[in-house]
Structure 1
Amino acid sequence: MEDLQMLSQGISTRGLAESKVTSDAMAEPHAVSALQEELTCPICLGLYRSPVSLACGHSFCKECIQEALRCCPHSLFSCPLCNTQAVPPTELQPNIQLRNVVQKFVDTCGQDSTHGEEEKHQVQREEMEESSGQQNEEVMCDFCLEKPLPAVKTCLSCETSLCQAHLDKHSTKASLKDHVLVEPSDVHVLAERRCRQHGKLLECYCVTDSVCVCALCCVASSHNSHKIISVEEAFGQAQNDFPKTLQSVKKYEAEVNRSLENLLKQETDVKTAESLRRNRLENLFDEMYKRLGSRKGELLETLSHGEEQQLSQIQAQIQTYKERKDETSHDLQELEALRDQKDPLLFTKGLTEIKARIRRPAPEKAAVQLPKPPIILGETTKEAILTLFQQFILDIDFSGESLPVHEHLTFAPSRTGIFNIGDYELTANSLMQQQMAMYGVRDLLPVHSIQSFSEGWHFWEVDTSCTRHWKLGITHQCFHCYLQMDGRNFRVFLDNTKITEKSATTAISTVRVELDCRRNTVSFYNISDTVLAKRCQLIQTVNVPASYPVHAAFSISSGSLRLL
């Protein structure tokens, strides 16, 4: 702090006298510049105007120090140069001798040099103001009062931040040249450079505890018996250790990345497996709904037809008995009229006609012999069906069975010469069609995987985006099952039996083949990217013979297949 106190020491402390300022010395540019530097206010960077001195001995323009006093919110005031804290002065003492020297300097040298210096400082301020408008959260100069400019350096010894103009003044002082300048740092960064216990600069490094300490920590704390070196020596050792540390961190980063990739892959596998399970369940219930709906319609239609037949027979009998009722009512009306007939001939003739009419005997309880109902569903049958359905629900495994294993297959070498085969890519050569016809394998799967499967649950995925004519499935010496794609039409075969045939609405670029040796099934899924965003799309599940081992099988007529 003693060096900082000499930055702008009052001219009276330096023993400058007016008698020593001669016109010959002022005529020398270097001497003029040096003297003008001494007569410059550290705050406004101009020649002193009504200079006053503080108790620490430093001098400032009266207006500049008054503005500094107004900006200080604390009861104690710190000198802008040396940070010496004192009670704010009630009255500023003018430095008459310094004012006379400044006046003599101005009268002798004229206004040219002072105006030039002021213009230089003004240009620097304008440049700083332009640059400050383009930066956020800048560290501001501690000496600028009215319009603080961004600091370009921070002096660790003075613990002050300096703009370019104040830095120039700071750097010209011989007593301040040993101060350490760093990039602009705010109070928080400066606080990190001081010991929290003693408030001193962290100038030492404790090797025992691997921590930066101050000088007092080395002699008056728990570090007094530890191995202590300077920060500069610790910096050199740290520079030597840096490559090794960097390599170690990079290695750890690679390990973390691998672990993260594995976890992300596991996350994707879980989501995919869950999508497949959900898809199976949805397909199962969709098929159940479809079959139940179809069967329900058939049964209801049968019941309606039986009801119509029964009602038709009953309606016919009702119509017959209504006609008989009308005939009987007509006979009664004639008999009532005949009761008053006095003419023997007419009475006898009329009664004879009525008696001659045929009246079939009516049963005590009329009924129609109806056909047997087409469907009989009693309570016993209904309960039996519900019991079977409940058993089916219970048979669904909720125990969380193991997931299928993703098999990364490789192609087995082929001796037919009709394919170019790598470990993971199968390509058709120019003689594909002729060789296929020659070997008679147009409807077979001539290339199979090295791996074979006899138990468990497995799946593999194949990129089919580079071919439009391919076959994927499994093969055994006694049978083969595959999905065949020709353009946009796909078919599923078990040996020569066609299981299904459909038209694909979009191109199938990625296919999953799933083999479940436990249930003896092979399932084909479309997991192309455009579809995978929604869910895996089941193409077909086929029940296959329980004959093992089986191999994954492949065939193309053009282009290439790639195993994933």
Structure 2
Amino acid sequence: MASAAVRDELLCSICLSTYTDPVMLRCGHNFCRVCIHRVLDTQDEAGVYSCPECREESQERPALMRCLALCNIVENLLITPPTQTEAGIFCTYCVDSPVPAAKSCLLCEASLCEKHLRVHSKSAEHVLCEPSANLEDRKCSVHKKILEYYCTEDAACICVSCSLAGEHRGHRVEMLDEASEKKKERLRNVLQKLITRREETEERVRSLEECKRKAQEKASGEAERVTALCRDIRRRLDDVEKRVLSEISRQEKEESFSLSALMKKLEIQKDELSRKMRHMEELCNMTDPLTVLQEPDTGDLYDPEDTGGHDGGHDGGDGDTGGHDGGDGDTRGHGEPLHDVDGPDVAVISDTFHTLCDIVTDIMRGIYMEDPADILLDVNTAANDIHISDDLKTATGTQENQNRPETAERFQHNQVMSRRGFSSGRHYWDVEISGSVRWRVGMCYPSIDRRGQQSYIGDNNKSWGLRRFNNQYLVRHDSKVIPLPHIISSNRVRICLDYGAGRLSFYALCDPIRHLHTFTASFTEPLHAVLRVNAGLITILGEATTGRNHNRN
């Protein structure tokens, strides 16, 4: 809708009329093409041209640029006669100048400004409504009467004639205001439901955003753990490389030294043989037989171990020289036998790499499991010198007798077993040890003995455990002990079970996580977590899902 202000902007400052073929000077001011040409023509004699608006001067006649945007505005808003809808609803009776209408009368089919509204009839048949250009839309198309009722059966607005004698005769009808309020109420109910659904949707979006954030944090944490793991693997690979290269270098130096000593010895033998060969050549070149025969048969002349081809040369002698045929005929008797050159000890290298592969495999198995198992301690198996916390997560060594009833399930000394057993799948659980230098953690069959030393973790063939005794760490199974070379700086331990693969692994939860040992076995019973604490306490990490009244698995 073009307002008065907009219309003023579309007036040429020369002719004070709406632009006709508007053009623009270099300074940006617009004029009718004909108007500005006339002004410029009058300025030709002076030789100086200036803008009628801003008086910007130029020595040359300025070029005129057609303003396409302004041309389109003029054509659309001014050349085309404005419709009532475009120009707004104006008072029907204000003929001198357009005045916006305040109301429209359906009976008079006229729009009225505030002034004419005050003198308009107030009778009931004169129905006033908001200003409208199409008053016919508010009348019945058949009877040309005002639409006053709403047919609920046909969902249509009707006049009184439609209700009494028309096609809606006998139908249930309501006043327009009443029907409108009912529809508004229904719309409010629907709106409230939509608002509720939108709030629920927003809550779901927030929940999903929180899940996304947690997933990103978890992914970031896993990425950091993987980075630390890879860094640890690279460090171990570097250590293995250094050890293997050092071993190869050591073997190479040892072999080189041995070969150098042998080569020196053979050089001495070669020089001795050369000397003997020269002496023999001198004898062979002598023409005096007497001199040749008088040369003594000593080691300087012949190799005492050489028997090849000398018999015929002594047929005329005293017969004693025939004794030279007792040798083995092997000219290698002049020195050491030929040395077999071995390569590096590949068994040492292979064992080192196999050890590293086992470590990497165990680390991968230990880390890439989903969630920790929910481990709850079974009070019915706890020895009377162990106190069990209310959340069934902590076992504390105590000298105070707990006075629990003696049963076949209960351990005699210092141990407690978990309620839950695992007979398939992959699981892990973590423990934290506090205030104790003597403890054991591990897993066992439910058929483990409960009394005597044979019930201790690792001292039988039904349990596998990690033990700390003072500052020494070791793993035990079936009374067989394997000391651990690692210095464990963490007081947290992870136990990982891959039941199907028959692997039970222990890790120190330091940074990065360190593999301690992996047992391999063909498990035949469910495995339960088991703790042994002499003093201090051992806590199973993770939240308990229940309390002391949890049903036993």
TM-score range, shorter chain: 0.3 to 0.5
Q: Which has the higher helix share?
A: 1
Structure 2 length normalisation: TM-score?
Answer: 0.42
Q: How does the TM-score come out when normalised to structure 1?
A: 0.41
